[in-house]
Amino acid sequence: MKILVVDDEKDVQTLFEQRFRKEIKAGELQFDFAFSGEDALVYLNQHEQEAVLILSDINMPGMSGLELLEQIKKKYHKPPPVVMMITAYGDAENYNTAKQLGADDFLTKPVDFSSLKEKLKDIN
Amino acid sequence: MRNKFFLFFFFMAVCCSVRSQENIVEQIQLRCDSILNLLVKEQDEDKKADLITSFYGTAIDGYPQQLLSLSHKLLAIAKQNNDIYAESAAISAAGQAYRLTGNYVKALELHRKAVALAEESGNKILIGFGLNQMAHIYKDRLENDKALKLYREAYQNFEKAGRNDIWYACMNIGVVYYNMGNYDSSLYYSTEAVNRINNTPGVGNQSSVFANIASIYSQKNVPDSIQKYFTLALDLANSTKSPRYMNTTYVAIAEHFSRIQQYDSSAYYYKNAVNIVSGTEMNNLVLKPAKKLTEYYQNINADSTVKYWKVYSAANDSLYSIRTNQQIQMLTFEEDQRKRDIEAAQVAYQNKIRTGLLLGGLAVFSIVAIILYRNNRQKQKANSKLEKTLVELKQTQSQLIQSEKMASLGELTAGIAHEIQNPLNFINNFSEVNAELIEEMKEELEAGKSKEAVNLANDIKENNIKITHHGKRADSIVKGMLQHSRSSSGQKEPTDINALADECMRLSYHGFRAKDKSFNTITETNFDSSIPKISLLPQDIGRVILNLFTNAFYSVAQKKKVLGDVYNPTVTVRTSRTAKGVAISIRDNGNGVPQKVLDKIFQPFFTTKPTGEGTGLGLSMSYDIITKGHGGELKVETKEGEYAEFIIILPL
């Protein structure tokens, strides 16, 4: 399963690679990283239907995670991939907006990776 | 027959006269004295005036000497009691005395005074009487118009007072009309006078009014009435024993006989008229009868002619110069009086104007004074109000400054939360990963795979560096927050301006995004790393930079709302060294500052934000912090619709 992680903080890549190193080694999961909403769209256009799951931050310079979510769900991909939002803002407003735009899940920072792993298993 | 009757009457009269004139004068004096006693005690003004006219009811004005004596007594009373009534009466009496002796100038002068005093008293009876007495002078001098005018004024005053004293005016008007040849009018007024007297018993000396009526009937040729009224006149004149009244009556009778061409009888009465006043102070009264007698005897008796011519010329000589002089003096006096009246009127007018001007000036002055006083009062009130308001404003200002701090802190809190969650995310997860990696490393080492173990150790080390980095990041965020909320310590400390600006930008940006989720902007930094640490108040400068960033983000956000996708919001922070020190510039490509509000943006409470969104204190506080707190400059460069760049210059 190919997962695209979108976040403006580059340390996220290291974190995910280390957190899922076993799964990566085992070939269960593949990770790609985009450091802005714009990059993510470019990636998705280039690798159509490759990424099954998208994990995106919301607060990013430029295109925000919510804008990206909207683009993905409405315009680009059929069938659309599963999109999970990961944000430091766990407030109701943010959550509702994300759900309205079609987010499949909503995670808050700090990310609980064991629960994330459980969710990925369900998708698989 | 008629002659005989008159002759008889005359003899009776003369006999009585000779015998009792002294007694009568004595009686008049006694009566006047008793009136004087009443006058002293009398307080009622009208009754006083009545008492004054009643002096003349004693027939005292048949006796000039007695009149003068009465005048002196009245004057004494006037002085003693400060009595204007008595004073007017005294002067009027003296005036009458001088008139009777032919001194009209003196008389006129006195009467004017008497009238003036009467007018001062305001009593109509007194005024009427004074005018009446003054008019006699003109009546005597046959200045009929003047006499009539004064008598009429007297009449009107008496009429207003509603008194029978009006008979004096009626009688005299009757005489003047007779002198003017207007017998009907004369009869009307004379009859009116008689009627009034009939209604008022005890008022004497009416002989001249009856003599006048008789003369009118003589002119009209009504024999019965002539006899009747001459009899009445003679009777009354006799009763007073006054040479003056008798003379007047004799002359009237003589004229009547002359008119009906009974010249002997006429001569007879003229002789009586001459004799009765000869040797008295009223010598002027002989002139007319003596002249008539001279004419009568001219062709009959040379001796008598000479005799009366002598009497006439003696009187005339003594009076001629007086009369001539009097004529001149009268005219002069009247002219002087007229001038004096005019001058008095002018003075009065000037005084009136002066008083008016003075009052006007005073009024204006008063108004000005009142206005000034009120202004002063209002200023004082306003001042105390202002002082109070100032104190309140100062309190409000410090409250506002605090709330401005808290407001910006509130804005930042959400951003800060986000900023802390991010490093925490790394710290927590990397440390967990490290724990796992250490386990794996142990396994590798136990398995003797030292190369894999070293790789794991390197990963652990790198992760640990990240943990430390994000830990410090969280630390600086918390410190920044604390610094922002703390009041200024007042202690300047060496500060890395680049780090401060970067931190503020991040705080502000995330704070802004916390409020507006859809907000996004490109942030660019351009730091001059050669800038040394500057001694400044980090909280204060941090607050300024935060504020400038918040404004910048607000501006680009507003523009984004309008322009949408075609617009790329960009906020740039740049530091550089300049001749004046260090410049920190925060530039946005938002809407810029309109030229018309450019000079107001640093004023307290000025804000372009909708009510409730801004306190209007941000920039004014920033300005104070930079200029007053640090001796620096805060400038703005802008083009409306394109960009705004705020530049802080801090001296090194």
pLDDT tens track for B299-327: 788 788 888 888 887 777 766 556 666 66
Closest residue on chain A to B470 (Cα): A11
Task: Tell me the one-letter amino acid at B131.
Answer: L
pLDDT at B315: 76
Tell me the CATH number of domain B496-650, given options 3.40.50.300, 3.30.565.10, 3.30.70.120, 3.30.230.10: 3.30.565.10
pLDDT at B19: 45
pLDDT at A1: 85
Confidence of residue B200 (pLDDT cuts 50, 70, 90): low
- Among candidate residues B410, B413, B404, B412, the one with its CA nearest the CA of residue B619: B404
Contact B422 A94 (CB under 8 A): no
Stretch among B9-18, B142-151, B381-390, B452-461 having the lowest mean pLDDT: B9-18
Cα separation of B603 and A19, whole Å?
55
Of B462, B517, B522, the CB nearest to A61: B522
User: What is the biggest distance separating any 2 CA atoms in chain A, rounded to whole angstroms?
Assistant: 39
Question: Look-up: residue for tokens 């957190």?
Answer: A19
Contact B429 A64 (CB under 8 A): no
pLDDT at B168: 87
Of A14, A64, A113, the CB nearest to B518: A64
pLDDT at B537: 87
Q: Is pLDDT above 90 for B108?
A: no
Measure CA of the first residue to CA of the last residue in chain B; give whole Å: 153
Give the mutation candidate from B432, B459, B517 for the A interface (greatest A CB count, under 10 A).
B517
Mean pLDDT of B15-32: 70
Task: Tell me the one-letter amino acid at B642.
Answer: E
pLDDT tens track for B409-463: 665 666 666 668 888 999 999 999 999 999 999 999 999 888 989 999 999 999 9
Q: Kindly state whether A93 is in contact with chain B, defined as any CB-CB distance less than 8 angstroms.
A: yes
State how many domains chain A has: 1
- Among candidate residues B75, B87, B74, B157, the one with its CA nearest the CA of residue B123: B157
- Among candidate residues B270, B250, B266, B246, the one with its CA nearest the CA of residue B258: B266
Stretch among B29-33, B477-481, B541-545, B609-613 having the lowest mean pLDDT: B609-613
Cα separation of B558 and B591, whole Å?
8
Confidence of residue B540 (pLDDT cuts 50, 70, 90): confident
Identify each DSSP E strand in B498-642 by its residue range: 522-526, 534-536, 570-578, 581-588, 633-639
Q: Which of residues B334 and B495 earns the better pLDDT score?
A: B495
Confidence of residue B485 (pLDDT cuts 50, 70, 90): low
Q: Is pLDDT above 70 for A124?
A: no
Contact B421 A58 (CB under 8 A): no
Residue A109 lies in domain: 2-123
Confidence of residue B569 (pLDDT cuts 50, 70, 90): very high
Task: Tell me the one-letter amino acid at B614.
Answer: G
Mean pLDDT of A8-19: 90
Contact B424 A11 (CB under 8 A): no
Q: What is the CATH number of domain B2-300?
A: 1.25.40.10
Confidence of residue B285 (pLDDT cuts 50, 70, 90): confident
Q: Kindly state whether B314 is in contact with chain A, defined as any CB-CB distance less than 8 angstroms.
A: no
pLDDT tens track for A23-73: 998 998 999 999 999 999 898 888 876 777 899 998 787 788 888 998 888
Question: Look-up: residue for tokens 């190919």?
Answer: A2
- Contact assessment for residue A84 and residue A103, using Cβ atoms and an 8 Å cutoff: yes
- Contact assessment for residue B259 and residue B267, using Cβ atoms and an 8 Å cutoff: no
Stretch among A60-64, A99-103, B258-262, B632-636 having the lowest mean pLDDT: A60-64
pLDDT at B300: 82
Closest Cα of chain B to A25: distance in Å? 14
pLDDT at B318: 64
Of A15, A59, A109, the CB nearest to B513: A59
Q: Is pLDDT above 50 for B15?
A: no
For residue B214, how many C-alpha atoms fall within 13 Å in the half-sphere facing its CB?
A: 26
Mean pLDDT of B612-628: 75
Average pLDDT, chain B: 83
Contact B424 A14 (CB under 8 A): no
Sign of CA dihedral B405, B407, B413, B415: negative
User: Domain holding A75: CATH number?
Assistant: 3.40.50.2300
Please count the helices (runs of H) and the strands (runs of E) in chain B: 20, 7
- Among candidate residues A53, A61, A14, the one with its CA nearest the CA of residue A30: A53
Mean pLDDT of B515-532: 86
Q: Is pLDDT above 80 for B182?
A: yes
Q: Are strands A2-6 and A30-34 parallel, antiparallel or unpaired?
A: parallel
- Contact assessment for residue B271 and residue B301, using Cβ atoms and an 8 Å cutoff: no
Confidence of residue B62 (pLDDT cuts 50, 70, 90): confident
Q: Where are the domains of chain B?
A: 2-300, 496-650
Cα separations in angstroms, B372 against B366, B369, B379, B380: 10, 5, 10, 12
Q: Is pLDDT above 70 for B107?
A: yes
Contact B433 A61 (CB under 8 A): no
Written as one string, the DSSP assignment of A59-111 is: --SSS-HHHHHHHIIIII-SSPPEEEEEES---HHHHHHHHHTT-SEEEESSP
